[in-house]
Amino acid sequence: MKKSLSQLILFFLFLLPSLLIAQQRLLISTIQEDGFQHGIHFEKEVSSSFFLSEKIKIVTTFPTPFIMLSGYFEKENFNPSLFFRTFSSDKNQWSEWQPLSIFTEGRTVGRTVYVGGEINSATTYLQLKSNHPIDRTFNLRLFAPGFSKKNQTASTRNPSDICACTQPNFEGRTDWCPSGNCPPDATPQPTEPTHIIVHHSAGQTTSSDFAAVVRSYWDFHVNGNGWDDIGYNWLVDGNGVLYEGRGENRQGAHFSCMNKNTTGICFIGNYENAIPTAEGLEMLQNFIAWAACSKEIDVLAADFHSDSNTNLENVSGHRDGNGLPNSCSSTVCPGENLYPLLEILRDQVSILPCYQETVASANELLENESINIFPNPNFGEFQIKWANIEVTDIVIYNSTGQEIKRWDGSDFQNSFFQTSILQKEAKGIYYAKINLKDNRSISRKIIILP
């Protein structure tokens, strides 16, 4: 008798979380292939100071590696702090409350967007919380990308007549979204890239089904942010697989409202915390080489970018847009562990034979021509001397592409120029862009010692 009573008590304790859920407000969310979206309202919890949503029962109609959690208020700059917790059938208990983060990587017209990222596919219940009353509807979105088919066929294109660097093989949209439920922008805006912008996806990307991850980004950007397509032109995963997003020569939504004349590539992962893989970095380098080569972009230079109204490194990180005149957001993208590697990637691309045959050769000196900067490295005072060329002007940029000083021909004497302009500047790497009368531009790195 005692044994039976003990078993009954244990059984009751096991069912208690589910019974408590059943007694409270409940919303059934059945996630179809096009996702689930519903208006959520927050009510004050009687026994606490919290304002809680109804419990949301999650029902998936097909197997999926994860569920993408996001949502939005239909008002810009309306940003109360939100939290979420999940209840998993495998653990039979609620998780701790986690922040539902505000999306700050770009502008979402008429919306304040939140993202929770990937949640476990075993999640059976979800609940949201606010510490303050909210008089607006929160549009909750749940998206299950489903498992991807293996052994997808990589796409490739014919080599460019202009570029000696081969375009890397890539997974096209029909590869990462074979169902056709991720259509491209029906009215794309063309653009001619002059700058390559490197990103990371941030968030809590943990799935190794990267095609499913790309599908979830498309859904978040289109149905969460309200954009016309996935924001990035290209993406690369940690295995070194390249994915076509919006594709070439189409204006994206990735560079803080300054997207004209850019192509954006996203390295999937959060590189504030994680370390980029060697395979992913190799593909990123190959992509930059091809993109720069095909567009005749000097990877070591910093040129004027019209949409940001500033001189910008031709290969930049998303964070290089912070504080610029036309920027609409601030970010740490592409992360503390990836951003410093951009300098190495620029240098590595610049010495690739295929790149040298095209871009570098068009802006390099002939055999009888020379430009010398000495001493280099230096402490801020240096000389530039040249032979058998006509220099029209010299511009010094810092490592973020900001113009430090410009001189025209009236400052030059007998193919020689000396300056101490950088003595008052901070230590680091600078670039001298030396423009010639025949329209060539020669870039040279200058290292200022502490």
- Give the count of beta carbons closer than 10 Å to the beta carbon of residue 403: 14
134 plus 190 within the same structural domain: no
State the Cα–Cα distance between residues 42 and 133, nearest whole angstrom: 7
How do residues 41-90 score in pLDDT, each as one tens digit?
Answer: 999 876 778 899 999 999 998 999 999 999 999 999 999 999 999 998 77
212 plus 344 within the same structural domain: yes
Quote the mean pLDDT of the chain. Answer: 87
Does 272 fall in a domain? yes
How do residues 304-327 score in pLDDT, each as one tens digit?
Answer: 999 999 989 999 999 999 999 999
Does 302 fall in a domain? yes
State the Cα–Cα distance between residues 65 and 154, nearest whole angstrom: 22
Q: Which of the pair, 165 or 360, is modelled with greater confidence?
A: 165
What CATH number does the domain containing 60 carry?
2.60.120
State the Cα–Cα distance between residues 255 and 386, nearest whole angstrom: 38
Q: Average the pLDDT over 175-199 and give the result.
A: 96
Kindly give the pairing relationship between strand 138-143 and strand 123-130.
unpaired
Q: What is the pLDDT of residue 162?
A: 65
127 plus 186 within the same structural domain: no
Contact of 144 with 31, CB cutoff 8 Å: yes
Does 369 fall in a domain? yes
Q: Is the pLDDT of residue 8 over 50?
A: no
295 plus 197 within the same structural domain: yes
Q: What is the pLDDT of residue 241?
A: 97
Q: How confident is the model at residue 33 (pLDDT cuts 50, 70, 90)?
A: confident
Q: Average the pLDDT over 404-420 and give the result.
A: 80
Distance of CA 436 to the CA centre of its chain: 36
Domain that residue 87 falls in: 24-143
Contact of 316 with 302, CB cutoff 8 Å: no
31 plus 55 within the same structural domain: yes
Q: What is the pLDDT of residue 322?
A: 95
Contact of 372 with 444, CB cutoff 8 Å: no
Distance of CA 68 to the CA centre of its chain: 17
Q: What is the pLDDT of residue 12?
A: 45
Q: What is the pLDDT of residue 154?
A: 60
Q: Which of the pair, 162 or 390, is modelled with greater confidence?
A: 390
242 plus 370 within the same structural domain: no
237 plus 347 within the same structural domain: yes
Q: What is the pLDDT of residue 14?
A: 45
Closest CA to 24 of 5, 3, 52: 52
348 plus 240 within the same structural domain: yes
Q: Percent of the chain having pLDDT more than 70?
A: 89
Q: Is the pLDDT of residue 291 over 60?
A: yes
Q: What is the pLDDT of residue 9?
A: 44
Does 244 fall in a domain? yes
Q: What is the pLDDT of residue 427?
A: 80
Q: Is the pLDDT of residue 424 over 90?
A: no
Q: Average the pLDDT over 136-144 and give the result.
A: 96
104 CB burial (10 A radius; 0-12, 13-18, 19+): middle
341 plus 300 within the same structural domain: yes
Who's near 58: CB < 8 A, 6+ residues apart?
29, 31, 67, 123, 124, 125, 126, 142
Distance of CA 417 to the CA centre of its chain: 41
128 plus 41 within the same structural domain: yes
What CATH number does the domain containing 325 carry?
3.40.80.10
Give the domain-ending residue among 98, 127, 143: 143
Does 301 fall in a domain? yes
| Sign of the C-alpha dihedral computed for residues 255, 333, 449 and 351 taken in this order | negative
Does 349 fall in a domain? yes
Domain count, the chain: 3
334 plus 196 within the same structural domain: yes
Does 4 fall in a domain? no
Does 155 fall in a domain? no
Give the domain-ending residue among 325, 360, 395: 360
Q: What is the pLDDT of residue 15?
A: 44
Give the domain-ending residue among 360, 384, 409: 360
Q: How confident is the model at residue 381 (pLDDT cuts 50, 70, 90)?
A: confident
What CATH number does the domain containing 395 carry?
2.60.40.1930
339 plus 386 within the same structural domain: no
Contact of 218 with 230, CB cutoff 8 Å: yes
Contact of 6 with 108, CB cutoff 8 Å: no
State the Cα–Cα distance between residues 358 and 349, nearest whole angstrom: 12
Who's near 221: CB < 8 A, 6+ residues apart?
227, 229, 230, 231, 253
End-to-end CA distance of the chain: give it in Å, rounded.
82
